Amino acid sequence: MSPSSFSALFLLALVAGLLTRLWLAGRQIRHVAAHRGQVPGAFADSIGLDAHQKAADYTVARVRTGMVDLLISAGLLLGLTLGGGLQALHDLSARFFDAGSLPQGLVFVALVASVSWLVDLPLTVYRSFGLEARFGFNRLTPGLFVADALKGILLSAVIGLPLIAFVLWLMEAMGERWWFYVWSFWLVFNLLVLLVYPSFIAPLFNKFKPLEDGPLRQRIEGLMSRCGFRLSGLYVMDGSKRSAHGNAYFTGFGAAKRIVFFDTLLDKLDPAEVEAVLAHELGHYHHHHLWKRLAVIGAGSLAFFALLGHVSATDWFFSGLGMQAGGTAATLVLFALALPVFTFPLTPLMSRWSRTHEFQADAYAAAQAPAPDLVRALVKLYRDNASTLTPDPLYSSIYDSHPPAAIRIARLEGSTR
C-alpha cells in the first residue's frame, strides 16, 4: 500500500465514523426530546413527569456535549497525524535526546499524552462544573478536581512512564516477534491491576470503610452464603464527595475480591433492594462474565498486536499518518491513535454481547432474590440518576451496554408470572 492510499483510507474511515456518530447522536436527541412530554406507561406509577423530563433534558445535554467531544477529538487526531503534529512533537523531543533513543521515546509519548490531556481539559471541566452541576449531580469542588488531576499525573509518571519504557525496550530487544512479548506483558499487567487496584490505587482517590453490622450486612452475607460466594470484604465508598450518582461494583479477583457500595446508593435503596442489586452483580460472577470478557479482549488484543508488528515494518504506515520518523515510540503512538478509527464497527457487537450478560445477571438475581425488589431498585436508580426511559432504539442497540429500561423491567416482571 502506498502512503497516499493509506492516508485516504484513514481519512475516509475517520470521516465516515464521525458522520455516523453525529447522525446517531442526532437521532438520540430527537427521539428523547419527542418522548419528553409523557412518562412511558410501564413507569407511570413510579416515576413522575418532572423526573422523566429531567432525565430527557440531561440525556440531551450529555449527547450534545458528546458531539462537541467528537468534533474536538477528530480535529485533534487530524492535527496530530495528517497535520504534522506528531512529527513536530517528535522533532521537539529529539532536540534534547538522541532520536530513536529510549529517553527520546519516553519524552515523545509524554508530550503526546500532555497535548491530548490539555485539549480535553476544558470539556472535562465543563462536564463536572457545567453539565453535572446544572442537573444537581456534581459535588466535586475545584480543589478536589485539581487534587485528582495531580494524583492522576503523578500515577502516570510513577507507573505509566516505567511501563512505557519497558514496552519500548521489549520492542527493541525481542526481535521480529516483539509484539507477542509486548502482548504477554500487557495481559499480565492488566491482571495485576485487577489484583492491586482495590487495595493500593482506589484508596488514593476515595475513602473506603467496612460496611457496618446491621440488617443490610446480614442480608448480604446471607445472599453470599446461598450463592456460595466468598470475598475479602464489604466496603462503602464516599462517592458522594464527587457526584450524587449512585452505584455499586465488584472489584478484584481471587482472594482480593471485594464489594464496594457508593454511599449515595445506600442512601437511596432499602436493604431488600440493595440485596437484589448485589444478586445481579453476583450473577456476573456466576456466569464468569469477567473471565469471558478478558478472554475475548485478550484474543482481540493479540490480533491487534500482531497487526502492529506487521505495520511497524512498513513505510506507508508512518508516512501515511504524517510522520517521516519511525521507531518504537512512533509506532506505539500512531497505532494507538489510528486503531479506534477502524474498530468503530465492532461497537454494536460488543454492546450486544454486554446486554446479553446483563439479561443473564438479571435472571440470576431473580432466582436468588425477589424480582420485584430488583425492579424497584432499578426504577429508583433510573429516576435518581436521570437515565432516560426512552432512548432511540438504533442508538441504544449500538452504544448501550445495558438493555433499555422498558425491556429490562418487562423481562424481570415476566419472570415473576
Catalytic (active-site) positions = 281, 362
DSSP class of residue 83 equals T
Q: Under a CB-based contact definition with an 8 Å cutoff, are residues 67 and 395 in contact?
A: no
Distances (CA, A) of 53 to 40, 42, 261, 314, 324: 12, 16, 28, 54, 53
84-90 own/partner pairs: CB under 8 Å, 24+ apart? 84/322, 85/115, 85/322, 86/112, 86/321, 86/322, 86/323, 86/330, 86/333, 86/334, 87/322, 87/323, 87/324, 87/325, 89/115, 90/323, 90/325, 90/329, 90/330
Read off the C-alpha cell for 273.
Answer: 433492594
Residue 187 backbone phi and psi in degrees, to 5? -65, -45
- C-alpha 220/C-alpha 259 separation (Å) is 10
Q: 361: burial class by Cβ within 10 Å (0-12, 13-18, 19+)?
A: buried
